[in-house]
Amino acid sequence: SYTARIKGRALDLTFKEFELLKFLAQHPGRVFTRAQLLQEIWGYDYFGGTRTVDVHIRRLRSKLGPEHEAIIGTVRNVGYRFTITSAIKDTQITERI
């Protein structure tokens, strides 16, 4: 499993959820389309639809909890972005297998 910590609370994430959160967190404020996220996280050889990204974002937000789900913002008809707030500046994203 992979772990991220937010405000000291560990989040148990799947590999793809972890990679998605890590990628977005490495580019705070930047908006990525679903197609860009598919290419970056799933790779060039992925043949599924872009809704895969939506499903993983929904699961990731659920694991973040209602108090932190807004750190992954939706840009309508475009994609998603990671939003830093003062409440989550101490977020840690670390791999644990």
CA 34 to chain centre: 12
| Cβ atoms within 10 Å, residue 25 | 17
- How confident is the chain (97 residues) per 10-residue block, as mean pLDDT? 83 94 94 94 79 94 91 94 69 56
**Spatial contact of 12 and 63, defined as CB atoms under 8 Å apart:** yes
The tens digit of pLDDT for each residue in 32-60 reads: 999 999 999 998 777 777 789 999 999 99
The pLDDT value given to residue 54: 95
**CATH code for the part of the protein at 2-94:** 1.10.10.10
Q: Domains of the chain: which residue ranges? A: 2-94
Which residues in 46-81 are b (16+ Cβ under 10 Å) and which e?
eeeeeebbeebbeebbebbeeebeebbeeeeeebbb
The pTM of this model reads 0.82
Query: Which of these, 14, 13, 35, lies nearest to 80 by C-alpha position?
Result: 35
